[in-house]
Amino acid sequence: MIKGAKSLITKRGVIKIRKTSKLLGIIAGVASIIIWFVLKPTEYEPMLNTFFSLALPAVLAIIASLTNYSFLMLIAFVWSLPISLYMVLTPSYFALFGITCVCYLISFILMVLDRKRSKQEQQLLSN
């Protein structure tokens, strides 16, 4: 195979992984915020708890997706994991928080794969 063609294929793969990770992170973050607005309890304490454990990690996930900082996405995943696991066990549509949390994890993994692929491509181009 021609070296230029291999580089082009690699670039397309990197672009697809990068776009997919960004899109998945943004969609999951926005979905979490929308679900939180639907969930928003009328009492102050549960509203504050769910805001800090569901809505803020969603904002962090959106920021991580836009800036491509995988560490921030990992923080958003770990931060929202406990209450997301609790919500998965509820018999209502709030179990969707579990899906958004898994999307944070998948987005993080794709960001890490993108970074590794970019480093490998830079090493190939420098040789």
At 13, the pLDDT band (50, 70, 90 cuts) reads: low
d(CA 89, CA 98): 9
Q: What is the pLDDT of residue 4?
A: 45
d(CA 46, CA 20): 33
Q: Taking 70 as the threshold, does the pLDDT of residue 31 lie above it?
A: yes
**Mean predicted lDDT score pLDDT of the chain:** 85
Q: What is the pLDDT of residue 9?
A: 47
pTM over 0.75: yes
d(CA 51, CA 54): 6
Q: What is the pLDDT of residue 11?
A: 57
Q: What is the pLDDT of residue 56?
A: 95
